[in-house]
Amino acid sequence: MNQRPNVPELGIHASPRFGHRKALHAHWSKSLEILFVLPIVFIIGIMIVFPTASGIVHSFTNWNPGYGSPWVGIGNYVSLIKSSMFQEILGNQAFLLLGLPVWTLLPLILAVMLYEGVPGSGIFRSIFFFPSTASPAIIGILFSFILAPTGIVNSVLHFVGLGSLAQNWLVSPALVKPVLIVVIGWATLGTGIVIFSAALSAFPPELIEASTIDGASWGYRFWFVILPSLWTVIELWVVILVVSVFTAMFPWIFTLTRGGPGYASTTMDYDIYQNALTYGYFGTAAAETIYLLVILAVILAIINWIFRRLKGV
């Protein structure tokens, strides 16, 4: 910066206070500047960086807070991967990922329809968006009533004469994971719509108009015009969803299934909580968090690779 900007015009030069304090305080105020950054460094350092490092170290021990923590090497990792429960939990995580296409396409289709013009679109968007911002724990409680044996779903089925289809939705090992996929889709839809709407509002209208004049059908337009130009924001949304499936399932599982029946709906984050706080296996819980981070990193790398190909970069 060689040229001095036109300071008086910015109205700062006019202030007398800046100049007269300068001589008195210049030196110590310079060294006090560090005070700006110390709070966030301390808080994140103590509350997140240090515990994460401590968790990594303790994942190699038989961690007993308050007592000794003997070194066990990779013992926790080996016993976890050999345990059939942990294998089932990994299977559950993989199953939940099957929801990704639905969780992505539904909000995208709705966002496109809102973008193309619906009267009162702001109200519709708000109604979809509210469940996304409400606490997952409260929405989970709400769905526990809806899916209870005497809940709305079964009552409606009986009411329309389809009582034979009524199920104990959250207690059936075969149904519990598909049901979770539906609930998560319901709860994430609004955020997806908001994100896609933001991307669409930056979308060149000529593109859509051109294809409309060409007589292209809605489906053609969606698949071949809109979808390919949104890969970047779709990738972002998929990443958010995948991270949520691995790290934000706790409130859903806690309020809907407690991981059951058996371990049929236990996720890694819920199991980490259980291992540490219910069973006191802190070392196992620590090793499980490292597994979680590694698996997540691998999946995100795969997603990045897939989208790079889709974008043709």
For the chain, the distance separating the N- and C-terminal CA atoms, rounded to the nearest angstrom, is: 37
Q: CB-based contacts of 1: which residues, under 8 Å, 6+ apart?
A: none
10 binding another protein? (CB under 8 A) = yes
Q: How far is the CB of 21 from another protein (least distance, A)?
A: 8
Q: Which of residues 207-266 bind another protein (CB under 8 A)?
A: 212, 218, 233, 236, 240, 243, 246-248, 250-251, 254-255, 258
Contact 186, 131 (CB under 8 A): yes
The residue range among 11-19, 76-84, 92-100, 223-231 that interacts with another protein, by the rule CB under 8 A, is 11-19
Select the residue interacting with another protein from 70, 83, 94, 145 (CB under 8 A).
Answer: 145
273 binding another protein? (CB under 8 A) = yes
Mask for 87-106, x = binds another protein (CB under 8 A):
--------------------
Cα–Cα–Cα angle for 255, 282, 286, rounded to 5 degrees: 85
Select the residue interacting with another protein from 74, 134, 165, 298 (CB under 8 A).
Answer: 134
Q: How far is the CB of 246 from another protein (least distance, A)?
A: 8
50 sits in the region (left: phi over 0; alpha: psi -120 to 50; else beta) called alpha
Select the residue interacting with another protein from 98, 138, 162, 302 (CB under 8 A).
Answer: 138
Mask for 150-189, x = binds another protein (CB under 8 A):
xxx--xx--x----------x---------------x--x
Q: How far is the CB of 155 from another protein (least distance, A)?
A: 4
Tokens representing 119?
A: 């009267």
Q: How far, in whole angstroms, is CA 141 from its chain's centroid?
A: 19
Select the residue interacting with another protein from 194, 216, 225, 303 (CB under 8 A).
Answer: 194
Mask for 13-52, x = binds another protein (CB under 8 A):
x-x-xxx-xx--xx--xx-xxxxxx-xxx-xx-xxxxxxx
Exposed e or buried b per residue across 71-99, where buried means at least 16 C-beta atoms within 10 angstroms of its C-beta: ebeebbbeebeeeeebeebbebbebbbeb
Residues in the chain: 313
Select the residue interacting with another protein from 77, 124, 231, 307 (CB under 8 A).
Answer: 124
Count residues binding another protein (CB under 8 A): 111
Exposed e or buried b per residue across 241-255, where buried means at least 16 C-beta atoms within 10 angstroms of its C-beta: bbebbbbebbbbbbb
Contact 285, 272 (CB under 8 A): yes
Q: Which of 94, 98, 303, 246 is nearest to 181 (CA)?
A: 98
Please write down the HEC assignment for all residues of 21-45: HHHHHHHHHHHHHHHHCHHHHHHHH
Which CB sits closer to another protein, 69 or 79?
69
Which CB sits closer to another protein, 86 or 143?
143
Determine how many CB atoms are found less than 10 A away from the CB of residue 288.
Answer: 24
Mask for 278-307, x = binds another protein (CB under 8 A):
----x--xx--x--xx--------------
Q: How far is the CB of 273 from another protein (least distance, A)?
A: 7
Select the residue interacting with another protein from 62, 79, 144, 167 (CB under 8 A).
Answer: 144
